């Protein structure tokens, strides 16, 4: 692709939450985008945002749990926009409930979207990237891919599975000496609409476990991951703490979350009667990137900034050490 050619990017779960923030981030760079989600109206709103920034967009109001629909969308993007450079799997759904209260149908549905949706998206991307030996796939993961919490067994299971199959694919790409890159961006608690429309069987309104970050923090990390060959990126200190803490003291984490994890995921407000949910059907409404926890959310992560800038920081640290060493040598050898 020449310098004047736009990047071609596909985003699943593109109409709201982290997916919508990612669309906006790539729109700043005039990308040509394939937008996949279930809600037609929100997809059109995302499309308008892309085009207002000078890019182009195709919308696909489909369910990522349908492999054939996902592949047809990929084929249309490639036919109309050219080779797909970046594919980003974001789409998810979940059930907030103790495992004993989840039905087989609910667990299956959450798994089909949140795990198999990534599988089908990855299949469609690789089908088009491998023949030209070029392209990047970004999997949106979570701290919960390594450290599970109560009340989200379906979501945690799916995110763990994504890490497993992504690692397997990575080894196959290495074996084949492929230039196609696959990476994962693991997120902390995000202020997205999912807490307003996820299926819940809890007595009080679901919330992300504080500290909470705005979805633009994730979008910045995803854009970076799509253009740098990092294996994984952890966004926010809470993500790093959860993942490394799981390695160090998993039993302590089990007991702590068993005691505190229920209240941490609920506000003080009762769940509204007849609350709609998006497990099987999209919830209508003018939802975008942000949820209802803006006042509690952070729009900057120092840990992520240091992660994304580790090379210049390393150079600066090395230069500082060399400079200090040189100054000390001069002082010790002064006449």
Cα of first residue to Cα of last residue in the chain, in angstroms, is 60
Query: Residue 178 carries which DSSP code?
Result: -
Distance CA 90, CA 16 (A): 10
Res 90 pLDDT > 50: yes
Going through the chain in order, the beta strands assigned E by DSSP cover: 8-12, 32-37, 56-61, 86-89, 95-96, 136-142, 181-187, 189-190, 199-200, 204-206, 212-213, 232-234, 266-270, 297-298
Domain boundaries, the chain: 8-300, 310-335
> How high is the mean pLDDT of the chain?
93
CA neighbor of 25 nearest in space, from 115, 90, 107: 90
Res 316 pLDDT > 50: no
Distance CA 249, CA 255 (A): 10
Q: In sequence order, which residues have a C-beta less than 8 Å from that of residue 293 and are 6 or more positions away?
A: 191, 195, 207, 208, 212
Other C-beta atoms closer than 10 Å to the C-beta of 201 total: 13
Whether the model pTM is above 0.85: yes
What does the pLDDT read at residue 320?
45
Q: In sequence order, which residues have a C-beta less than 8 Å from that of residue 224 and are 6 or more positions away?
A: 230, 233, 308
What does the pLDDT read at residue 321?
43
Q: In sequence order, which residues have a C-beta less than 8 Å from that of residue 335 and are 6 or more positions away?
A: none
Res 175 pLDDT > 50: yes
Position of tokens 């995110």?
159
Distance CA 54, CA 50 (A): 7
Query: Residue 112 carries which DSSP code?
Result: I
Distance CA 40, CA 59 (A): 8
Q: Is 116 helix (H, G, I), strand (E, B) or coil?
A: helix
Res 125 pLDDT > 60: yes
Res 133 pLDDT > 50: yes
192-211 mean pLDDT? 97
Fold category of 8-300 in CATH: Rossmann fold (3.40.50)
What does the pLDDT read at residue 1?
44
Going through 136-284 in order, the beta strands assigned E by DSSP cover: 136-142, 181-187, 189-190, 199-200, 204-206, 212-213, 232-234, 266-270
Q: In sequence order, which residues have a C-beta less than 8 Å from that of residue 105 and are 6 or more positions away?
A: none
pLDDT, tens digit, for every residue of 207-229?
Answer: 999 999 999 999 999 999 999 99
Other C-beta atoms closer than 10 Å to the C-beta of 254 total: 15
């Amino acid at each position: 692709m020449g310098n004047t050619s736009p990047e071609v990017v596909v985003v699943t779960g593109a109409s709201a939450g982290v997916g919508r923030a990612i669309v906006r981030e790539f729109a700043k760079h005039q990308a040509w985008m394939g937008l996949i989600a279930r809600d037609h109206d929100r997809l059109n709103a995302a499309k308008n945002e892309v085009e207002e920034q000078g890019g182009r967009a195709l919308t696909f109001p489909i369910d990522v749990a349908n492999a054939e629909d996902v592949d047809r969308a990929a084929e249309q993007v490639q036919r109309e926009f050219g080779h797909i450079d970046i594919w980003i799997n974001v789409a998810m759904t979940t059930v907030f409930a103790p495992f004993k209260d989840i039905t087989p149908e609910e667990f299956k549905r959450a798994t089909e979207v949140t795990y198999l949706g990534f599988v089908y998206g990855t299949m469609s991307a690789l089908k088009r990237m491998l023949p030209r030996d070029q392209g990047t796939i970004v999997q949106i993961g979570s701290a919960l891919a390594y450290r599970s919490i109560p009340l989200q067994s379906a979501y945690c299971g799916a995110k763990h599975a994504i890490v497993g199959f992504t690692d397997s694919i990575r080894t196959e790409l290495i074996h084949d000496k492929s230039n196609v890159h696959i990476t994962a961006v693991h997120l902390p608690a995000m202020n997205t609409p999912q807490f307003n429309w996820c299926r819940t069987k809890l007595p009080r309104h679901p919330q992300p476990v504080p500290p909470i970050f705005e979805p633009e923090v994730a979008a910045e990390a995803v854009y970076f991951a799509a253009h740098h060959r990092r294996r994984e990126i952890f966004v926010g200190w809470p993500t790093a703490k959860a993942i490394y803490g799981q390695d160090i003291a998993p039993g302590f984490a089990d007991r702590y979350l068993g005691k505190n994890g229920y209240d941490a995921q609920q506000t003080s407000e009762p769940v509204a009667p007849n609350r709609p949910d998006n497990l099987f059907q999209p919830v209508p409404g003018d939802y975008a990137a942000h949820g209802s926890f803006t006042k509690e959310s952070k729009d900057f992560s120092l840990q992520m900034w240091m992660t994304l800038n580790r090379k210049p920081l390393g150079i600066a640290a090395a230069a500082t050490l060399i400079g200090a060493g040189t100054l000390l040598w001069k002082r010790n050898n002064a006449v």
